[in-house]
Chain A
Amino acid sequence: MTTAVQRPALVRSSDRMIAGVCSGLADHLGWPVKFIRLGMILACFAGGAGVAFYAWLWTMVPTADESAKRNARRPASPIAPAVSLPPTAATPARASTAYDAGLSPAVRGVPAASGASAPGGQASGSTHGAGSASGFGATSADDWWGGSALASWFSFRKIQYGKEILLGAALLLVAAILIARQFGVDVPLGTLIPAAAILGGAAIAWMQLDETRRAGLVDKTKADQAGGWVRLAAGLALVVAGVLVMVSGSGSWEQTWLALLASVAVLGGVALVLLPWGLKFWKDLETERAGRVRETERAEIAAHLHDSVLQTLALIQRRAGSEQDVVRLARAQERELRAWLFSDAARESGLLADRIKSVAAEVEDSHGHAVEVVTVGDTQMTDRHDALVQAAREAMFNAARHGGGTVSVYLESTAGSTEVFIKDRGPGFDLDAVPDDRLGVKESIIGRMKRHGGSAVITSSSDGTEVRLTLPSATVDAGDQRNNDVRNGEAKQ
């Protein structure tokens, strides 16, 4: 039926004169855009066929953006007309089912599609007249999932382009009629136009119903929805107008108006009757969507817990003999989980408090001692703060290595200065007794702080050791502090 030439999808291009139809068409067909535009303009003089064709494509062909959005949800279709449906699942099998379930009336006429083998058979079995109802009535879930099972043997390819080809044929017919008229052939337009309007309007409306329904299931962007309703209304209007003109036998305008009024009233009544039913349907959609979102969330949480907590628990069981390992694993896992649960994406990372915390985590991991970090205030990192973090890291390592139990780290950052306290509860040591060649304390902590204009004070007793690192702000704007606190000296240091 069609050649399987791979063409770029038919989308409205951003390189546009009016709506990007011509350049999109040119891309799709592989013809120079100039010819297409020329052809389109020429066609406009052929009884306005070009205008109609252009308007048609404008309405029905998605823009490149829309198309990309759709394709993100399913594999690219060789043709991406607006009437194609964006199904939920990304598998080709389901995509084809969706095509089928969403068959436009036009395609139902194609023999291959109307066969009883089609999963959408129940839908296509409904008559055209009842089409608008059956479009809704064919339950989405049933032929959707049932169809996916059948899809393996359902030879969908046969009618893949059926819709488009039928459309093209219809347009060609219109063009032929218009051209024939140009040459003076008498065509009964009075009958043909209303009939065409009815057919066209019904087609638009039915396509739209399908699309709206599925779009609602997948995700309803407001714009899609609004466009859908507009097109549905347009389709209905076309049908009503066509029927009226036909019935009234191209009578006077007055008569037509009256009839129009009456039919609108009838339609309104029908709408009123169907409204609660429609609302219920809408609610079902909402519920299903919310359920899906919850499901996704749950799956994500489960995946995370599996990767982190369950793995850690397994490790802990295997290392149950080593208390230190168990503590270390538990602490690391706790940290990770906390970060995952409470991390605030809006919060800027890379600030001093975060750096201190990550250093503390590192110490905790390597020595198995808990390091409790309390921070008050925060500030942007600078080179000098880097030095502060390095010194604090060294002090934490010392505390974890020589001290016992929990290491307490306190960071206070104000406009005037930044201080870090590292306290352990070890046996303590005599600073003066530390030989000069021991780089740890003298060089990495005291020396480093001095070089960057700060200071380090170490107090040690039998109750434990505390390292106090102070880094005055270099300039007033060095810190982005929440208030202009004046540091009050402590009673005794």
Chain B
Amino acid sequence: MNTNPDSGAGRRVRVVIVDDHTIFRSGLKADLDERMDVVGEAGTVEQAIAVIAESRPEVVLLDVHLPGGLGGGGREVIAGSSALLGTTSFLALSVSDAAEDVVSVIRAGARGYVTKTISGKEISDAVIRVADGDAVFSPRLAGFVLDAFGTAPADIADDELDKLSARELEVMRLIARGYSYKEVAKELFISIKTVETHVSAVLRKLQLSSRHELTKWAAERRLL
């Protein structure tokens, strides 16, 4: 993963970790590098909403599956913190990898999704990227997007939400192939910032698309 010089040396990102496994929380805390401060932790939906409202972090590392609340897990935490969505970004963490879970938490407002097996360096980079307002796509999420939106590009003039542009498709495809943002940028002769713009655009489409097939598709595709 690329380092992000924009984040500045002096700036520290305030992070809240939400996961019901204490061991995982402490491991993740140790994994995050010196660029971020963990200002809060929570293990249930109710706790998470309270801690987030109180500490107002820039980034919430959010487990998709959480006990408590109405059973909605991470989705419910985002919904419960919707007033803060402007200042707080959510990065979904999951072991499940099930399309339904991932897509639902993204559509609820998360800025990205990574698997829990991710390395400490990668998770730190992902947190910084989310804090900068960009989206974080794992190869698998990119695969979901390609599967859900189809691999046919939209017409150039078409700015509809249900299709990806040719360029967005290229970016998604490269991410699915395991390319980092930097490698994507190099491959397509564009800047990293442009890659991030494309990814954010895809994220927006993923969140806003009214395409009912998207939900249906995710529900059908439980396996992964």
Q: Which of B17-25, B35-43, B138-146 contacts A (4 or more CB under 8 A)?
A: B138-146
In the complex the two chains form, what is the Cα distance from A324 to B163 in whole Å?
42
Contact between A374 and B139, CB atoms less than 8 A apart: yes
Give Cα distance in the complex from A482 to B147, angstroms: 10
Chain B nearest CB: distance from A223 CB in Å? Answer: 34
**CB < 8 Å neighbour of B223 from A343, A410, A482, A492:** A343
Contact with A along B147-167 (1 / 0, CB 8 A): 100111100000000000010
For B142, the chain A residues whose CB sits under 8 A away are 374
B98 contact set on A, CB distance < 8 A: 342
Judged by DSSP, the binding face of A is: loop
Q: Which of B139, B153, B188 counts the most A-chain CB atoms under 10 A from its CB?
A: B139
| Residue from B139, B140, B169, B178 within 8 A of A488 (CB atoms) | B169
Contact with B along A443-466 (1 / 0, CB 8 A): 000000000000000000001001
A184-218 vs B, Cβ < 8 Å mask (1 yes, 0 no): 00000000000000000000000000000000000
Chain A residues 93-107 with CB under 8 Å of chain B are none
Cβ contact within 8 Å between B189 and A492: yes
B173 touching A412 by the CB < 8 A rule?
Answer: yes
User: Given known contacts A347-B223, A412-B173, is B187 in contact with A492 (CB within 8 Å)?
Assistant: yes
Alpha-carbon gap, A421 to B187, bound state (A): 15
| Nearest chain B CB to A123 CB, angstrom units | 46
Contact of A375 among B143, B150, B189 (CB under 8 A): B143
- B132 sits at the interface (CB 8 A): no
- A377 interface contact, C-beta 8 A: yes
Q: Name A420's closest neighbour in chain B (CB-CB).
A: B177
Which residue of chain B has its CB nearest to the CB of A409? B178
Q: Does A344 contact B (CB under 8 A)?
A: yes
Given A372-B140, A488-B169, A342–B224 Cβ distance below 8 Å? yes
CB pair A410 B188 closer than 8 Å: no
- Complex formed: what's the CA distance from A376 to B169 in Å? 12
User: Does B188 lie within 8 Å of A491, measured CB to CB?
Assistant: yes
User: Is A114 interfacial (CB 8 A cutoff)?
Assistant: no
* Cβ–Cβ < 8 Å partners of B176 in chain A: 374, 376, 410, 412
The proximity string for A residues 398-432 relative to B, scoring 1 for CB distances below 8 Å and 0 otherwise, is: 00000000101010101000000101000000000
A370 touches B223 (CB 8 A): no
Distance between Cα atoms of A344 and B151 in the complex (Å): 25
Known A-B contacts A370-B117, A374-B142, A376-B143; the reply to A488 vs B153 at CB < 8 A is: yes
Inter-chain CA distance A490–B188, complex, in Å, is 9
Bound-complex Cα distance A492 to B179 (A) = 15
A486 to B151, CA, bound (A): 8
Which chain A residue shows the least CB distance to B167? A491
In the complex, what residues of B have CB within 8 A of residue A482's CB?
150
**In the bound complex, do residue A410 and residue B177 qualify as a contact, i.e. CB atoms below 8 Å apart?**
yes
A410 near B143: Cβ-Cβ < 8 Å: yes
B interface residues, how many (CB within 8 angstroms):
28
Task: Decide: B177 and A485 in contact? CB cutoff 8 A.
Answer: no
- Given the known interface contacts A343-B223, A374-B176, A466-B177, the answer about A492 and B188 at a Cβ–Cβ threshold of 8 Å is yes
Binary CB contact string for chain A from 477 to 493 against chain B (1 if under 8 A, 0 otherwise) = 00000110111101110
> Contact check: which of B153, B178, B224 meets A410 at CB < 8 Å?
B178
In whole angstroms, what is the CA distance A488 to B178 when docked?
A: 20
The yes or no answer to B222 lying at the interface (CB within 8 A) is: yes
Interface centre among A347, A374, A423 (most CB of B within 10 A): A374
Q: Which residues of B contact A492 (CB under 8 A)?
A: 187-189
> Do B224 and A412 touch (CB < 8 A)?
no
Cβ of B125 within 8 Å of any chain A Cβ, yes or no, is no
With A372-B139, A486-B152, A490-B170 in contact, do A408 and B147 touch (Cβ < 8 Å)? no
- Shortest Cβ distance from residue A364 to the other chain B in the assembled complex, whole angstroms: 13
What CA separation (Å) do A289 and B146 show in the bound complex?
45
B46 within 8 A of A: no
Chain B residues, CB < 8 A from A343? 223
The interface residues of chain B lying within 8 Å CB-to-CB of A463 are 183
Complexed CA–CA distance, A366 and B178 (Å)? 21
Asked if A376 contacts B177 (CB within 8 A), the reply is: no
B3 to chain A, nearest CB (A): 15
Per the bound structure, the CA–CA distance linking A487 and B173 in Å amounts to 12
Q: How far is the CB of B100 from chain A (nearest CB, A)?
A: 10
Tell me which of A347, A375, A490 contacts B173 (CB under 8 A).
A490
Q: B31 to chain A: closest CB distance in Å?
A: 16
Q: Are B178 and A412 neighbours in the complex by a CB distance under 8 Å?
A: no
Residues of A within 8 A of B166 (CB): 488
Nearest Cβ in chain B — how far from A387, in angstroms?
21
Q: Interface on A for B, CB 8 Å cutoff? A: 338, 342-344, 347, 370, 372, 374-377, 406, 408, 410, 412, 414, 421, 423, 463, 466, 482-483, 485-488, 490-492
Q: Which 5 A-B pairs have the closest CB atoms?
A: A408-B178, A374-B143, A410-B177, A485-B152, A421-B177
B residues engaging A (CB < 8 A)?
Answer: 97-98, 117, 139-140, 142-143, 146-147, 150-153, 166, 169-170, 173, 176-179, 183, 187-189, 222-224
28 A–B contacts from the bound complex (CB under 8 Å): A338-B97, A342-B98, A342-B223, A342-B224, A343-B223, A344-B222, A370-B117, A372-B140, A374-B140, A374-B142, A374-B143, A374-B176, A375-B143, A410-B173, A410-B177, A412-B146, A412-B151, A423-B178, A463-B183, A466-B177, A483-B150, A483-B152, A488-B152, A488-B170, A490-B170, A490-B173, A491-B170, A491-B189
Other CB < 8 Å A-B pairs besides A344-B222, A376-B146, 8 of them?
A342-B222, A344-B223, A377-B151, A410-B177, A423-B177, A423-B178, A483-B150, A485-B152
